[in-house]
Structure 1
């Protein structure tokens, strides 16, 4: 359980479809007051996910909602899990991310992915490139954004993006820049981008055996570029099913923790029960943190 000697970090996700701003704000402010939770997330979609008949339902835009929540919380790290790169030019994303980091007092975890929802692209007239091109664009976008956050002026001549003496002022509060959180599991391309740029990698699956295998691939990509793979936190999302006992959620989380996960996101679905934050803290997060601490103590004692 403590093989990586990394502290467990738990968060909540409130995908902003079929739910009001006031309901999301309540959950975030309750989590902000609950030390068991360290991070909170929205998603980045314009059309609700789910059944076709649900696609016309209400959904709030992610970046503007995140800015509002950043201004009304004090402690939680926050971000989108994850922003779709093809929805906005990376220079625009860099400006948005820098502004959000300043609003939040340096709490942004910058989530980014290649984007996958073809119907969403078609609906809004956004080009939907091949999988390979979307991932290559993701790699270029990471380089563009990192440079805009750390250099006075950026000139960039890529295959997909070009900048000429582009500024990004003011810079983010976090130095050298907010951590990149990259989602995706493609072994040949996506995990190479993760190895080069990410501080947190989000695995978007539910099979623990595959999670272990993908980690080994990521470790190999890190070795190829001379990066310590332990610099990258291993993240995943676990759905909170109100119809199932929280003991089942705790057991599922434990399985992934034993496989190397250190950054766990409990994905809520509306309607949110009035006590959901407190129950998740008491019945899921705190017991797992205590177990991890006990395992690490035993390991340290054995090494001594």
Structure 2
């Protein structure tokens, strides 16, 4: 099985649109399958200069400045946008890209960014997430010429024309989270992909088993969903280069080796192989230094070619 490698960025930590464009175009040029970004409005440590960029505004721009690489969020928070607005935004960016968009959607967790920008942050958000998934898939799946209505606890839509339609017949939906029952059920119901974000590495296989059990309960087979993980990336041609890259992102080499795709090229290949053996099909490589394009080049040349 070939392991699919994607590039995943955290622009809220401090990145302009041009910074992200450079990484997205390098991602495409080097043969990675997708450029993904977080959907956050506040830095988690540091000053975050020049300030946050909106995920879907950014992806709209990238849609017109790339040609083959897939584009998406890991993950958009259900608290940020009304599902009707999000459905329009995602469908439009999908049209702008020629059908290359994927949507990761979660319940949201970072209370401080909501406080900073005046965004409501209810204590109970799983219901919001569930209704948004019902509405998004309902709007996109409504045939042209028909209308979509929805009467939920959190949202009501009346006779929506359910336009515009995405370019793709179905926009892939990524569901993630670590809940024992509700999240697997949600993934089994709506997910084209299930993502484990920064998991403890010895728990990955067991979690895939939980998702497969949830799929079976709904009549789906394990091969109907893609199993993915997101892990921090820090790789060097030798120990000195790895240590330099670890320092550049403010992380300790030992901690990175324990929790990420990190160390020398051989170590990175071994870690990715172990994940593949546990059932992982796709890995989002979290790139924290967006100015180090040589890092991406190294992984494309020396790591991806050995998988």
Query: 244-253 or 155-164, which moves further after superposition?
Result: 244-253
Paired residues in the alignment total: 277
- Secondary structure at the counterpart of residue 110 of structure 1: strand
Q: CA RMSD in A?
A: 1.7
Residue in structure 1 matching 2:272, options 233, 241, 253: 253
Question: In the alignment, is the contact (CA less than 8 A) between 1:238 and 1:253 conserved in 2?
Answer: no
Correspondence list, 1:84-123, <5 A: 84-123=77-116
Higher relative contact order (CA 8 A, sep 6+): 1
Residue number in structure 2 paired with 1:299: none
Structure 1 position 136, deviation (Å): 2.3
Distance 1:276 1:69 in 2: 21
Residue in structure 1 matching 2:35, options 13, 35, 40: 40
Residue in structure 1 matching 2:126, options 130, 135, 142: 135
Distance 2:22 2:7 in 1: 13
Question: In the alignment, is the contact (CA less than 8 A) between 1:47 and 1:56 conserved in 2?
Answer: no
Structure 2, unaligned stretches of length 5 or more? 235-244, 247-262
> In the alignment, does 2:24 pair up with 1:28?
yes
Residue number in structure 2 paired with 1:159: 153
Structure 1 position 238, deviation (Å): 1.9
Distance 2:37 2:81 in 1: 17
Question: In the alignment, is the contact (CA less than 8 A) between 2:16 and 2:50 conserved in 1?
Answer: no
Residue number in structure 2 paired with 1:182: 175
Structure 1 position 212, deviation (Å): 1.5
The Cα offsets for residues 5-30 of structure 1, whole Å up to 9 and x where unpaired, read as xx421110122132232222122112
Question: In the alignment, is the contact (CA less than 8 A) between 2:15 and 2:50 conserved in 1?
Answer: no
Residue number in structure 2 paired with 1:13: 8
- Secondary structure at the counterpart of residue 138 of structure 1: helix
**Cα 1:248–1:92 shift into 2, 3 Å:** same
Structure 1 position 122, deviation (Å): 2.1
Structure 1 position 267, deviation (Å): 1.1
Question: In the alignment, is the contact (CA less than 8 A) between 1:237 and 1:267 conserved in 2?
Answer: yes
Residue number in structure 2 paired with 1:266: 285
Question: In the alignment, is the contact (CA less than 8 A) between 1:84 and 1:115 conserved in 2?
Answer: yes
- Secondary structure at the counterpart of residue 31 of structure 1: helix
The Cα offsets for residues 253-304 of structure 1, whole Å up to 9 and x where unpaired, read as 222111111111111112432422221111221211xxxxxxxxxxxxxxxx
Question: In the alignment, is the contact (CA less than 8 A) between 1:195 and 1:221 conserved in 2?
Answer: yes
TM-score, normalising length: structure 2: 0.85
Structure 1, unaligned stretches of length 5 or more? 289-304
Runs of 4+ in structure 1 deviating by more than 3 angstroms, as ranges, are: 53-57
- Secondary structure at the counterpart of residue 13 of structure 1: strand
Question: In the alignment, is the contact (CA less than 8 A) between 2:14 and 2:51 conserved in 1?
Answer: yes
Residue number in structure 2 paired with 1:145: 136
